[in-house]
Structure 1
């Protein structure tokens, strides 16, 4: 499918943008630090630039769990927040492209606030994922954003409706509260409740049905992302994947085929530039 056709479907709401870490591949802070764009670079950022053992380098959630066990939960939350807030960086090109479309519904697995900046002048809903909480089973918080005051405030999940854009950040965000799903324990808790139906507000469970997805910068080689995407897109009608991998693994191929997701033969940079 051509980019122009996808843009038309995104504007109509039939195709939902679904963003992952790969959209940060070309993004550096103003003084040259790389924003994490894959599992390895995320681990290096969490661990002060130092590599960890091969077992921990397999996936950043595993490395984050090790750091949390050694240094505490507060450390991993503060470090994650620090990575995306301590130095300014330009808006990644994928978000700049979305700004020309302003979709009514976006799923964003990234932990920073780039997506929120696009909607700073528009009233909207924000849903952020949470994990390992004692009060109830819901693994999300719904916020309403008021553009005139630039403020988010929590609202009851029943208030969610399609009259305003819905920004869904299932793995958390740096704002309005530092809630991150980043360690193995976070993902296990979130996925367990997700499979029980507690990861999405009731409205979103039906609103998302029969939609297609455009996956940008997501690597489905890791079990974690496949499981998260599967829960969030239940009821989908296929979709498209754009990332910088030339070949997909057998696990990825099986996932893409079972979900009727077509991997477009282009890089993310070329796609965004319409090449």
Structure 2
């Protein structure tokens, strides 16, 4: 990565022409404040955490949504919700370097497919919109909830205010109320409605036109994550943006070429000038 590209990306994040898209890798340096254990963020670590530190059957280890579906079928959907809330809402974690860096830049629009609260904490001093993905809920045609943060608390709202920052948490968050996309059934419902246009508010469909994206901490070798990402960045400029992938696979190279993402063979922590996680 050249100094010129780095400067251009940072300038785009600041002026809103480039949208950060955060994956589990941005949490690689986050630890349990009490024990020092790493936060479970990627697919494998989430499965181990959900199963008391033990692996599940090989076919379930393939992807967290599949494992979560198995738990849901055996113990109910609430078991998965309680696990995620206990993990991300009730446990104290150290701050991540990427989130502290984003706090200083304060991009206008951020997409975060993690389920933790660090992004929301970064914007705690700033009034902002929060969009939270939902699935399999009756009484609405849409697959999102909207909130407004007034600097003290979240309030439900019916519309996005595009004049203030927008935080999009499509896979959910424990705050202000625990809501998650986790199991296969959740993803099928959410992605189906995402493709139909019902998982993104109208104001965001307008806001995202012509944007470019910087994918941070996200490998592109999982079909589920790729489908979510491709629909969320619909209407992007061409090229669509950049993705940090150290030692990309041939599958990732082909996919990125297909959708117009330029691979930066580097780590997000290198980009922000932070120490590599141990």
TM-score relative to the length of structure 2: 0.93
2:113 is the counterpart of 1:105: no
The residue correspondences of 1:39-50 to structure 2 (distance < 5 A) are 39-50=43-54
For 1:34-81, what per-residue CA distance to the aligned partner results, in whole angstroms no more than 9, with x for missing partners?
111321111111111110011000000000100111111111100011
Superposed CA deviations along residues 172-196 of structure 1, whole A, max 9, x for unmatched, are: 1110111000110000000111111
3-state SS of paired residue (1:128): strand
Q: Distance in 2 between matches of 1:135 and 1:155?
A: 16
- CA deviations 1:137-160 (Å, max 9, x no partner) are 20001111111xx11111113xx1
Look up the match of 1:166.
166
1:66 to 2:70 alignment: yes
Aligned partner of residue 121 in structure 1, secondary structure? coil
Q: How large is the Cα RMSD of the aligned pairs?
A: 1.4
Pairs within 5 Å for 1:45-194: 45-147=49-151, 150-157=152-159, 160-194=160-194
Counterpart mapping for 1:1-20 below 5 A:
2-20=5-23
What is the correspondence of 1:17-36 to structure 2 with a 5 Å cutoff?
A: 17-30=20-33, 31-36=35-40
User: Unpaired runs of 5+ in structure 2?
Assistant: none
Q: Is the aligned partner of 1:242 residue 2:232?
A: no
Distance 1:187 1:249 in 2: 26
Cα-to-partner distance string for 1:225-263 (whole Å, 9 max, x where unaligned) = 0000011000112111114x412242x223211221111
Partner of 1:220: 220
Which stretches of structure 1, 4 residues or longer, exceed 3 Å deviation after superposition?
Answer: none
For the Cα contact (< 8 Å) 2:44–2:63, is it kept in 1?
yes
Contact 1:14–1:212 (CA under 8 A) maintained in structure 2: yes
The Cα shift of 1:274 comes to 7.2
Provide the rounded CA distance (Å) in 2 between the counterparts of 1:266 and 1:62.
30
- Given the two structures, how large is their TM-score scaled by the length of structure 1? 0.94
Report the 3-state secondary structure (helix = DSSP H, G, I; strand = E; otherwise coil) of the residue aligned with 1:162.
coil
> SS at 2:271's partner residue?
helix
| 8 Å CA contact 1:221, 1:249 repeated in 2 | no
Structure 1 unaligned residues grouped into runs of 5+:
none
After TM superposition, list the pairs within 5 Å mapping 1:190-205 onto structure 2: 190-205=190-205
Q: Distance in 1 between the 2:162 and 2:253 partners?
A: 34
